[in-house]
Amino acid sequence: MGKNIVILGGGVGGLVAANRLRQSLPHEHKIIIIERESLHTFAPSFLWVMTGDRKPEEITREVRQLVHDDIDVVHDEAKRIDIANCRVETASNTLSYDYLIVAAGAGLAPELIHGITEETHTFYTLKGSQKLHKALENFQGGEIAIAVSSLHYKCPGAPHEGAMLIADYFQRKGMRDKVNIHLFTPEPQPMPVAGPELGAAVRQMLESKKITFHPQHKLNLINSQTHELSFHDKEPAHYDLLIVIAPHQGPKIVREAGLSNEAGWIPVDRSTLRTKYENIYAVGDVAAISIPGRWKPDMPLMLPKAGIFAHEQAEVAARRIADEIHGRIPKAEFSGMGYCVLESGGGLAGFASGNFFAEPSPNVKLRKIGRKWHVGKVLFEQWWLSPFGARREILRFAINTGGKFLRIPASV
């Protein structure tokens, strides 16, 4: 009998899992994606929208374009996971599942920041990046503050990339000497989830761009009238333009289903991505995986919420489900290996890669900054946004032009 595999979420993890399952299973098995939005936006390119190097329509595609034809895409809001009866209730329907993959991502909760207003900017949403681009165009000089409000947040490299791209933006405008850029974070170093070596390398990148890095600054509140940031046990800071990385939270539907921990994320086996329920997996930003090391005594490090991990985890979960359905012993495991391209401006980027499961702490190194890493990120963007059927040709082009570092699975 055919099985129903339901996937909550049409982001990176959901799309990769669906396509892998469709390629691995005969057509009597149904693959169903539940995704509220009909349009998919490529989040890594939001920073290029911020600088005016991309238009929204250039990084937006219909979800239907990005998946195999024989995948059901249900554009509806998932309301409830009925674990006991293996069902997902949406706003207009109820869908039964034999396997469930939760790829529902992480939501932003700016309302949790005291004092946030419409004048506070973000580059973590498409609309926010568009609005911030206009603000940068009109900015005449002064203090720009980028503040990480709390842990854990998506793409730990993004605040640093954002700061460097803003510095490059004003350099190109001939205004760099009129702008001071500050990056505030509660973390002890840049990207502590990637280990001390990478943190030191990223800090050097920031300093080379004359960006002031302020570690261990926990944001308490924003005074929008005086344009002042207040921190715990630190001196306040003035700003003329403020960008905040808002608190992140797990989806309400997983909290109400009893799948999440106290922080709102779904604990999974780090190798198999399986939850405490045998037929339910969680991948991507919604999943909680601890890694070796601590960024302070009472807080262990968690695997970063990043697209590369959502991609790899979705592959593993899909392969394991397909093996079970075929009657094989599942062997695919998530290794903890990952990489990140850090844009530094001027058509240059760094490439960080390594083992996030390494002991006693993640072992991630940054390769020499160069143009090829930036080109690789552009190629990946174009590959991801291409209709499903055209991806093989773009992959072949990338490999033939020396882009093997992209590590795009040829079968996706």
- The per-residue pLDDT for range 28-60, each reduced to its tens digit, is 999 999 999 999 999 999 999 999 999 999 999
Specify whether 151 is located in the same domain as 24.
Answer: no
CA angle 338, 342, 345 (to 5 degrees): 165
Helical H runs in 209-292?
252-256
Task: Tell me what the mean pLDDT of segment 57-72 comes to.
Answer: 95
Specify whether 238 is located in the same domain as 281.
Answer: no
Confidence at residue 219, expressed as pLDDT on a 0 to 100 scale = 96
CA–CA gap between residue 7 and residue 72 (Å, rounded) = 10
Contact 19, 112 (CB under 8 A): no
For 329-370, the pLDDT digits (tens) are 999 999 999 999 999 999 999 999 999 999 988 889 989 899
Contact 186, 148 (CB under 8 A): yes
Specify whether 227 is located in the same domain as 241.
Answer: yes
- Assigned domain for 233 exists: yes
Residue 82, strand partner residues: 87
- Assigned domain for 405 exists: no
The domain tally of the chain equals 2
Confidence at residue 408, expressed as pLDDT on a 0 to 100 scale = 42
For 316-335, the pLDDT digits (tens) are 999 999 999 999 999 999 99
Specify whether 285 is located in the same domain as 201.
Answer: no
Specify whether 144 is located in the same domain as 265.
Answer: no
User: Are β-strands 30-34 and 72-74 bridged in parallel, bridged antiparallel, or unpaired?
Assistant: parallel
For 247-301, the pLDDT digits (tens) are 999 999 999 999 999 889 999 999 999 999 999 999 999 999 999 877 666 777 8
Confidence at residue 387, expressed as pLDDT on a 0 to 100 scale = 82
Specify whether 140 is located in the same domain as 187.
Answer: yes
Q: Is residue 110's pLDDT more than 50?
A: yes
Among the candidates 223, 248, 273, a domain finishes at 248
Confidence at residue 410, expressed as pLDDT on a 0 to 100 scale = 37
Confidence at residue 392, expressed as pLDDT on a 0 to 100 scale = 54
Q: What is the 3-state secondary structure (H, E, C) of 28-82?
A: CCEEEEECCCCEEECHHHHHHHHCCCCCHHHHEEEHHHHCCCCCEEECCCEEEEE
Specify whether 75 is located in the same domain as 152.
Answer: no
- CA–CA distances in Å: residue 402 to residues 373, 384, 395, 398: 11, 18, 11, 6
CA–CA gap between residue 372 and residue 368 (Å, rounded) = 10
258 SS3 class: coil
Specify whether 9 is located in the same domain as 25.
Answer: yes
- 52-65 burial, b at 16+ Cβ within 10 Å, e below that, comes to eebeeeebebebbe
Residue 218's H or E segment, with its range, is none
Confidence at residue 412, expressed as pLDDT on a 0 to 100 scale = 37
User: Are β-strands 72-74 and 94-96 bridged in parallel, bridged antiparallel, or unpaired?
Assistant: unpaired
Task: Give this prediction's pTM.
Answer: 0.92
Among the candidates 189, 214, 248, a domain finishes at 248
- Assigned domain for 345 exists: no
Q: Which domain holds residue 194?
A: 108-248
Give the domain CATH number at 135.
3.50.50.60
Specify whether 175 is located in the same domain as 298.
Answer: no
Specify whether 92 is located in the same domain as 143.
Answer: no
Specify whether 17 is located in the same domain as 76.
Answer: yes
